Chain A
């Protein structure tokens, strides 16, 4: 069965520091991988996605993620955190079959300290 594990339900960084949010997945088929961000009282916004091709994917707001097949990982990074990055982040993998279903991790709350 496919699954997504996000390591760390809460991550705290100082403003200007590196942001690293970890995501590991299991999938029996080549996956599509996604990172979504959820700001307080808002819906999910797509940050970036990996489908095929280049394994380093750049997204909005300066975020990027690298697909590492050998490690079954898709970690999200940003070189320098801003206060506005404080939010909950979800990693997701496409389910096999043509159902369109996304399988989500449990989420990581990012806190940015001044």
Chain B
């Protein structure tokens, strides 16, 4: 089954404790992206990756890091989480071809709470 998976689905942590949210897709997609969803704000892009070893900032990258060492994986790293990073996070992927890049498939989400 074609899918995007994220782990963990739920996470409660404390300020300053480094964490990683994993994202994996099995569709051989070139493009992957992270969004955060906050009430009343919709989804906002954090980082994206056009292919292996190619990443760039989205609209709200502060406090986050990413890496793309393999095509299927795109982990999101919070080196020193703060309470304002409490949010619902989504990973998405799509084919990198022109015309298809915006048709994105989303993972189930990771609900993060930073105390």
Which of A's residues lie within 8 Å of B, judged by CB? 4, 9, 32, 34, 36, 41-46, 49, 51, 90, 92, 94, 98-102, 104-107
Contact = CB atoms under 8 A, between A and B. Distances in A.
Contacts of B101: 98, 100
Interface of B: 4, 31, 33, 35, 40-45, 48, 50, 56, 58-59, 90, 92, 94, 96, 98-99, 101-109
Contacts of B107: 43
A107 B88 CA distance: 14
A51 B45 contact: no
Given A43-B106, A100-B104, A106 B99 contact: no
Given A43-B90, A43-B107, A51-B99, A101 B43 contact: no
A-B residue pairs, 10 tightest by C-beta: A104-B42, A44-B106, A94-B102, A100-B101, A43-B106, A104-B43, A43-B108, A106-B42, A100-B31, A101-B45
B50 A100 contact: yes
Contacts of A41: 109
B90 A90 contact: no
B48 A99 contact: yes
B111 to A, nearest CB: 9
